Structure 1
Amino acid sequence: MWRKVKRFFKILGPGLVTGASDDDPSGIATYSQAGAKYGLATLWTVIITFPLMAAIQEMCARIGLVTSAGLTTTLKKHYSKTVLYLMLVFSVPAIVLNIGADIASMGAVANLLVPAIAPIWFSLLFTAILMAMIIYLPYVRFVNVLKYLCLVLLLYIIVPFLTRPDWFKVLRSLIIPDISAKVASDPNFIAMLVAILGTTISPYLFFWQAAMEAEDVKAVKRQIMVNKRLISNNGDDVDPKPREKRLMGLIIQKMGIDVNIGMLLSNVIMFFIILTAGTALFGKGVREIETVEQAAKALEPVAGDLSYLLFATGVIGTGFIAIPVLSGCMSYIVSESLGWKGSLDKKFHQAKGFYIVIIFSLLLGLGINYLGISPVQALLYTAILYGVTAPVVIAMVLHLANNKKVMGEYTNSRLSNCLGVLTFLLMTVAAVFLIYLQFFDQP
C-alpha cells in the first residue's frame, strides 16, 4: 500500500507545486476575508475556479513540454517584442510586491507564535533560508523539498473540523450560489468574487508551470539522445521515432494527472480556508479581516489554541512553497526575455545572472517592509497588475496552444478551448471591474 502511495506521489511534480503555491499567504488572506465577511456565501466559487485553472495550467504545461522552453521564450518567438516588454513592465513589479507581501505575512505570523522576536527579524531569517534553499539545493532535491512542503496544506483541512460546522449548510452553500441576494444586500460582494478569481488564477503560475515542465522534458530528451547513441553504436536500425512519440504521449498523460491533482489541491485548500473563516469568524461576528495574521489571531479566542496554531503554521509553510515559485518565475521571465542561459537545473556559477535575479527579487520583496508599503497595499497593487496582464497572457496561451506550427499534433482539444475562452472572458470582466473600482468608483 505504502509503495503504491510513493509511486503515485512520484508522478506528481510541477503541477502539485504550482497548485500549492497558489495558496500563498496573500491568497490565504483573501480567502479568509471572503469567509469572515460573507460566511459560506463564496464557497461555490471553488467549483468554478477548478476547471478553469486546470485548463489554463494544462495548456501552459503542454506548451513547455512540446517546445522544451519556458513560456516567455515561446512568446518571444511568436509575438511582438512590444507585447513581451509591456507584459514584463506589469508582471515583474507584481511578483516583487507579491513576494514582499508574503515575506511580511510570514514574519507577522511567526511573531504571533513567538512575540519576543520582532516580525522584521523573522522576515530576514525566512528570506535568508529561502535564498540558501533556492541557490544551493540541486534542482531535483529542490523540487522534492517543495513537493513535500505541500503536505503542510493538509493543516487547513484539519482546522474546520475543530470548529464543528453544519455540514448540510456547507454542502448547500457549495452547490447553490446565492449571488443575487448577496449583491442586493452588499454590492461589494462582486468585488470579493473578483478578488477570489484574481488570486486563484494568477499569471505567474502560467510561467512557472511551463518553465518547470520544460526543465523536466529536457532531462527526458537528454536520456533519449543517450539511448539513440547506444542504439547507433550497437548497429540497431530500429526507427526511434514511434518510441519517442509514445514516450511524449505518456509524459503528457502524466502531466495531465499532475496538473489536475495540483489544481484540485489548490481549490480544496481554498474551500477549507473559506470554510474555517466562514464558520469560526463570521459565525462569531468577526467580519473585518485585512491580513493573514489578523485571521490567525482572530481564530484563537473563537476556535481554540490548536486551530490558531495550525492556521499560523500553515501560513509559514505555504510561504516557503510560494516564494521560491514567485522568485523563480520572475527569474525565468527576465532571463528568457534578455536571452540569458540559466535555469534552476544549473548551479550558481553556471547561471549567475539567473540566480542574481532571484536574490534581487527576494531582497526587493524584503525591502518593501522598510518602504512603508503595508502587505495590504502590496496585495492591492499586485491584484491590479495581475488583473491587467492575466487576460492578455491567457489570450496568447490560447493562441499558442492552438498553433500547429508550435504544437504539432498536441494542440488544444475542444473542451480545453471552451474552458480557455471562458477563463479569458471571466478574467477580462474581472480586470475591467477591478480597474473601475480602483480608479473610477471613488467617493
Structure 2
Amino acid sequence: MPVRRNGYQRGDQPTVTSNRGVIPSPSPVGDDDAPRSRLARFLRILGPGLITGAADDDPSGIGTYSQIGAQFGYGLSWTIVLSFPLMVAIQEVAAQIGRVTGAGIARNLRRHYPRPLLQGVVALLLIANIVNLGADLSAMGAALALMVGGQGPIYTLLFGIVCIVLEVGLSYRRYAAILKWTTISLFTYVAVVAVARVPWPHALRSLVIPEIQFNAAYATALVAVLGTTISPYLFFWQASQEIEEEHRHHAKPLCLTPTTAGPELKRIRVDTLTGMAFSNLIALAIIFATAATLGASGIHDIATSSQAAEALRPIAGQFAFAMFALGIIGTGLLAVPVLAGSAAYAVTEMAGMAGSLDAKPLSARLFYGTIAATTLAGASLSQIGIDPTRALYWAAVVNGVLAGPLMVVMMLIVGNPRAMGRLALTRAKTFWGWAATIVMIAASLLFLAFVATGRS
C-alpha cells in the first residue's frame, strides 16, 4: 500500500489550501537533475528553524555582538561555539513540542500546569518582547537615517507599520517565503568581514582557546551572549511555526500518528541545525568584523547596532558602513514579525483561542490585535521619552529570569507522556536539553547577581 506522508499519497502532486486560495506545490524534479533535486528538497525543508535562527541575529543582538567585538576583540568568540549545541538542543525541544502535541508552549502550559504560571510567563514575555521591539525598530530607524538622512523616530514608526501590514495582509505561505528570503540580508555581515582584514590565525584560535578574564565586565558579556542567543520568544515562535506547517500540510499531531514521526523529526533536526548554525556563523562574522575594525582602532564602547555602523565608516570605508546598516534594516524586518508573532501566539493560546498567520484578520482579532498592539507599543517607546536601548538592558534581565524556568517547563513537557504520547525525547536529546537549561539558569543567576550588586 502506498506510504502517506504529511497527508499526501506518494505520487500525488499535493496542494496547499488556505483561506486565500489553492496553491499547487512544485512538481518533482526528474532523475536527470538528481543533485539539483537534493538541493531543492533541502531548501524546501528549511523553514521554522532557519527563520528562528536568523531572527536571533536581530538589531539588538547585532548591537550586543558589536560591543563584544569592540570591547574584547576575539576573546569571547569561543562563547558562540559553546552556545551552538545548547541553542540546537532547546530549539529542537521547542519545535518538537509544537509538532508532536499540535499545540504551542502556552497552550501546553494551559493544559498541564497551574494557570498563574502560564499568566506570569506570558506577562514577562510581553514585557520583554515590547522592549525588544522598541530597540529593534529604533535601530532600523536610526540606520535608515544614517544612510539617507531624515528623522529616525519617523522611520521607526513607519517600519513598525510596514511590519504590521505584512503580517496581517499576507497569507502564511507568502509571508513565510518573504521571511525565508529576508535571511539573505544577514550575508551582508559576511561581506563586511571580507573587507575588515581579520587576523584569521588569531581569530580562529580564539574559537577553541578561551581568552578568559576574571572581571565583572567579562562575566556580564558572557551572560549577554547567552541571553542574546537563547531567548524565550524564539521558543514560542518555533513551536508555533511547526503547528502552522502542520496545518499547511493538513497533517495530524505526531502524538496521534507516531508511526509517521521519523521523517518529520529528522526534518526538524536538519532545519534546526541549519538555522542555528547560520545564526552563529553570522554572530561570529559580526564579532570578527567589529574586533578587526572598532576594537583594533581603540573604539571599545558601542551602545547600539547603528552606532557600530556609523563607527565603521571612517575605519573600514563606505562599503562596510553601508553593508552593516543595510543588514540592520534587513534583520529588523525579519526579527520584528517574529517578536510580535511569538507574543500573539502566546496570548491567544493563554486565552484558549485559535490564532494563525493564515487566518483572516476578522476571524482572529485577538491574534492580529496583539501583533499590532505590541509592534506599535515598541515603536512608541522612543516617542514617549523611554530610551529603548537602555530599556533593553532590563529586557535582558526579564529574558534571563524567564528563559531558565521556561526551559525547565519545556523539558518537563517533552518528558510528559500525557503531552507527548510515545514520542518523548531520547536520552541524548534529554541530556543536551537539560544541559542548556542548567547553563542558562546559571548564566541568569550570575547576571542577576551583577544587577543586585550594581556592578557592570
Q: Same fold (TM over 0.5)?
A: yes
2:163 counterpart of 1:130: yes
CA-CA distance at 1:223 after TM superposition? 5.5
**Does the Cα contact within 8 Å between 1:105 and 1:375 map onto a contact in 2?**
no
1:173 corresponds in structure 2 to: 206
Shift of the alpha carbon at 1:89?
2.4
Which residue number corresponds to residue 135 of structure 2? 101
Aligned pair 1:151/2:180, yes or no? no
1:31 is paired with a residue whose SS is helix
Opposite residue 401 of structure 1, the aligned amino acid is V
Matching residue of 1:90: 124
Q: How does 1:145-224 map to 2 (within 5 A)?
A: 145-179=178-212, 182-183=213-214, 186-220=215-249, 222=250
1:347-386 pair list within 5 angstroms: 347-386=360-399
372-381 or 57-66, which deviates more: 372-381
**CA–CA distance in structure 1, aligned partners of residues 318 and 252 of structure 2:** 54
Contact 1:291 1:375 in 2 (8 A): no
User: SS at the partner of 1:409?
Assistant: coil
**CA distance 1:91–1:223, change in 2 (3 Å):** closer
* Equivalent position of 1:232 in the other structure: none
State the partner residue of 2:13: none
Q: CA RMSD in A?
A: 1.8
Q: CA deviation at 1:246?
A: 4.7
Query: Which of 108, 114, 124 is 1:80 aligned to?
Result: 114
Post-superposition CA distance 1:21-77 (Å, at most 9, x none)? 000000000000000000000111111111000000101101100111111001111
Equivalent residues of 2:106, 2:350 under 8 A apart? yes
1:196-230 residue CA offsets vs partner (Å, 9 max, x unmatched): 1101100110011111101211333x3579xxxxx
CA pair 439-372 structure 1, distance change in 2 beyond 3 A: farther
The equivalent residue for 1:44 is: 78
**Does 2:150 match 1:121?**
no
Match of 1:229 in 2: none
Unaligned runs of 5+ in 1: 226-240
The aligned amino acid for 2:283 is: M
**Equivalent position of 2:20 in the other structure:** none
Q: What CA distance in whole angstroms lies between the structure 2 residues aligned with 1:223 and 1:256? A: 18
CA distance in 1, matches of 2:183, 2:99: 23
Query: Contact 2:74–2:287 at 8 Å: present in 1 too?
Result: yes
Q: Which residue identity does 2:169 align to in structure 1?
A: Y
Is residue 142 from structure 1 mapped to residue 175 from structure 2 by the alignment? yes
Note if 1:251 corresponds to 2:264.
yes
Q: Which residue of 1 aligns with 2:312?
A: 299
Between the two structures, name the one with larger relative contact order (CA 8 Å, sep ≥ 6).
1
- Gap regions ≥5 residues in structure 2: 1-34
Quote how far apart the aligned CAs of 1:131 are: 1.0
| Structure 1 segment 20-31 matched on structure 2, within 5 A | 20-31=54-65
Find the residue that maps to 1:343 and give its secondary structure: coil
After TM superposition, the structure 1 stretch with the greater mean CA deviation from structure 2, 430-439 or 396-405, is 430-439
8 Å contact kept, 1:68–1:215: no
**Offset of residue 407 of structure 1:** 1.2
SS at match of 2:294: helix
Does the aligned pair in 2 maintain the 1:68–1:218 contact within 8 Å?
no
Q: In 1, distance between residues paired with 2:353 and 2:287?
A: 42
How many equivalent pairs are there? 422
CA distance in 1, matches of 2:220, 2:436: 17
- 1:61 corresponds to 2:95: yes
Q: In 2, distance between residues paired with 1:370 and 1:118?
A: 12
Residue 238 of structure 1 corresponds to which residue in structure 2? none
Q: Distance in 2 between matches of 1:149 and 1:89?
A: 29
Deviation at 1:408, TM superposition (A): 2.1
- Amino acid of the structure 1 residue aligned with 2:134: G
Cα displacement (A) at 1:409: 2.4
Structure 2 counterpart of 1:147, one-letter code: K
Q: Which TM-score applies when normalising by structure 2?
A: 0.89
**2:153·2:383 contact (CA, 8 Å) conserved in 1?**
no
Identity of counterpart residues, as a percentage?
38
Mapped partners of 1:278, 1:159: distance in 2: 12
TM-score between both structures, scaled by the size of structure 1 = 0.92
Moved more, 317-326 or 424-433: 424-433
Structure 1 CA distance for aligned equivalents of residues 251 and 355 of structure 2: 20
Conserved in 2, the CA contact under 8 Å of 1:280 and 1:302?
yes
The question of 1:403 aligning with 2:406 is answered: no
The amino acid of 1:64's aligned partner reads: G
Q: CA deviation at 1:248?
A: 2.7
Asked whether the 8 Å contact 1:341–1:351 carries over to 2, the reply is yes
> In the TM superposition, what is the alpha-carbon distance from 1:367 to its structure 2 partner?
1.0
Tell me how far apart the structure 2 counterparts of residues 15 and 224 of structure 1 sit (CA, whole Å).
Answer: 20
2:189 alignment partner AA:
Y
The runs of at least 4 aligned residues of structure 1 exceeding 6 Å deviation read: none
Query: Once structures 1 and 2 are overlaid, which stretch shifts more, 408-417 or 245-254?
Result: 245-254
Query: Which range is displaced more, 159-168 or 31-40?
Result: 159-168
Q: Higher helix fraction: Structure 1 or Structure 2?
A: 1
2-structure distance, mates of 1:81, 1:244 = 29
Shift of 1:441: 3.1
